[in-house]
Amino acid sequence: FQKTEAPRPPGAKDLHAYPWDKSSLKSMPVDLQQLKKLDAYALKVNVTNSVEELVKALLKQARTDLEKVRAIWMWICHHIEYDVVGYHNKSQLSSKPRDVLQMGKSICEGYAELFEHMCSLAGIQCKKLSGHAKGHGYKTGQTFTGNSDHAWNAVYLEGRWHLLDSTWGSGSVDDSFTKFTYRYNEFYFLTHPALFINNHFPDNSNWQLLKPTLTLKEFENNMLHNSNFYTLGLLAARPDTPIIRTVNGKASVSVDCRSGTLFMFKLKGTDEHGLMTLKRHGMELDIYPQKTGSHKLEIFAKPFKAEAADDVYKCVLEYVVECESVDKAMRFPKELHQPVGPSWFSERQGFLRPSHSQPVLHTNDGRCSLTFTLSKDISVLTSLHADGSGSLSEDMGRRHVLQIHRRNQIELKVHLPHAGNFVLKIYSKKKSDPGNYDYIFNYLIRCLNTEVKWPAFPQSYSKWLQDYEILEPLSGLLPANRNVQFKLKMHGVAKVLVQAENTYPLTQNKGCWEGTCNTSGCREVFVMVHENANHSFYSHVLKYEVETQ
């Protein structure tokens, strides 16, 4: 073993700019792929009789100082567990490297001392640091007083000081602090100092390795981004303080990230009281708590990769929302699904160029129309949902939306049955797939005009083809004892009849079938087609109801 000289204090060349420049998660270039073989070797080393023997065995495969530190780091993170019992009874606990190795467990103090001792045996300058950490038991917005509560290390590599925390690299304890679980975390190996400061505040501010350094007050007020936040490629969040006050019953949060990331949120454990929209580089969220007081708001994220179905949402941010007044008008229907509105996700599923890019549509007369270009050969299914007394049956929910296809364009006409808040849900499937439709996205539609009362569109049957179009009558409820004008765009049929009490043939004119029908004496009107002039049977394509007297 070579003797290490006494560690030099950090100087100008060790410092990194604060805030984080969004470049790298680490303070020096580390090629994790290249370290894979060394990592695997270090995990298998099984020496616990002496620290010297352990270091000797680990160094067999390590050439550079970085590799030596890596081997020591890997071994400690996978072989020393956090001593949850000892934590509650510190007087009985030894943090001496030899005892930590023999016991195979310790608290942060022991991890840091073992790391420092193993590095010095390997000829690498290393220092144990202590300070305050936003770790287990940390409450959003709390202050730090009294003695430091955590320990970690600085190592000297390639002419600069770097930070690491092997306690947090090894795993985590549960909420009740009774069980430790090994869960290796790469993030805390040579963490960029501008990120490390997020949850580590050293007693000696020189060991922040930052310019400018932060005060304890700034550390306390800063937003806690846990390691998931950075590991998932997220870059920034607004607001950047953990406590948000509502303004007129509303609070807003946004997150920036590099590329396709899926988000969800929970306010007091549910996602009912918000509107979240996915953006190409992040997400935006408006929340409207429906009770005053303090509420916990959690934001979760996961990468969007078609093949990574096993990826779970991980919590990346936690806020406390202080709500002083409630905006009752912003109660959302139960059926509303987060995120709301179109996004890169609906685009990937084949819905391009939405006419409405916002999540909420306001209509005064109870009608609205949305268009998309479909980039794939998909069938689309739509349904309208409302809450409470105004709720719609599944069949009626479908019939208040009419699809019109023109080549690769789709138009969705919505006629609301009454005023209120509605959810328009959009599903799709590949035309070639026999299976079910997949839910893709939804809009919130709001109408305050209590005069509104649109009937459903006519019912259509399987012979009504996707690219047929009803020009008139659009209403599925026809007036009684009236002459009603019909105009339908259909192709590939030989004859079209409207059957009321009597039967009325429609005539073909420039791709449209037109004519009049009288609704006296009947409750229902059917449109029927002859697909082939030589056939004698008709197929039903549309059904209208007639108003009762």
- What's the rounded mean pLDDT across residues 6-23? 92
Query: Phi and psi at residue 495, in whole multiples of 5°?
Result: -150, 145
Q: Give the helix/strand (H/E) hosting 429.
A: strand 420-430
Residue written as token pair 């047929």:
468
**Per-residue pLDDT at 532:** 82
Catalytic residue among 165, 192, 225, 368: 165
* Confidence band for 250, pLDDT divided at 50, 70 and 90: very high
Q: Please give the Cα distance from 100 to 114 (Å, whole number).
A: 7
Q: Are residues 420 and 465 in the same domain?
A: no
332: exposed, middle or buried (C-beta count within 10 Å: 0-12, 13-18, 19+)?
buried
Residue 150 annotated among the catalytic residues of the structure: yes
- What's the rounded mean pLDDT across residues 271-300? 96
Catalytic residue among 77, 79, 108, 273: 108
Q: Are residues 204 and 100 in the same domain?
A: yes
**Residue 308 pLDDT exceeds 60:** no
What are the tens digits of pLDDT across the range 400-426? 999 999 999 999 999 999 999 999 999
**Residue 4 pLDDT exceeds 70:** no
Where residue 251 sits, what CATH number does that domain have?
2.60.40.10
Q: Which amino acid is at 118?
A: M
3-state secondary structure 184-202: CCHHHCCECHHHHCCCEEE
* Sequential DSSP letters for 332-379: PPTT--SS-S--HHHHHTTEES-S--SSEEE-SSSEEEEEEEE-S-EE
Question: What does pTM read for this prediction?
Answer: 0.89
Residue written as token pair 């060790």:
14
* Confidence band for 1, pLDDT divided at 50, 70 and 90: low
* Domain assignment of residue 111, given as a range: 12-221
Residue of higher predicted confidence among 29 and 389? 29
Q: Please give the Cα distance from 497 to 516 (Å, whole number).
A: 10
Catalytic residue among 117, 132, 150, 415: 150
Q: Please give the Cα distance from 21 to 227 (Å, whole number).
A: 17
Q: Is residue 356 part of a domain?
A: yes
Which residues are bridge partners to 22 per DSSP?
A: none
Query: Can you read off the two tokens belonging to residue 294?
Result: 């303090």
- In angstroms, the first-to-last Cα distance of the chain is 103
Q: Please give the Cα distance from 512 to 514 (Å, whole number).
A: 6
Residue 165 annotated among the catalytic residues of the structure: yes
Q: Is residue 154 part of a domain?
A: yes
Q: Are residues 443 and 464 in the same domain?
A: no
**Per-residue pLDDT at 32:** 97
DSSP summary character for residue 329: G
Closest CA to 291 of 322, 266, 269, 333: 322
Which residues are bridge partners to 183 per DSSP?
A: none
- What's the rounded mean pLDDT across residues 199-203? 97
Q: Are residues 215 and 309 in the same domain?
A: no
Closest CA to 304 of 337, 346, 270, 267: 346
Listed residues 425, 456, 487: the one ending a domain: 456
Where residue 74 sits, what CATH number does that domain have?
3.10.620.30
Q: Is residue 490 part of a domain?
A: yes
Counting the structural domains of the chain, the total is 4
Cβ atoms of residues 280 and 344 within 8 Å: yes
Other beta carbons less than 10 A from residue 329's beta carbon: 10
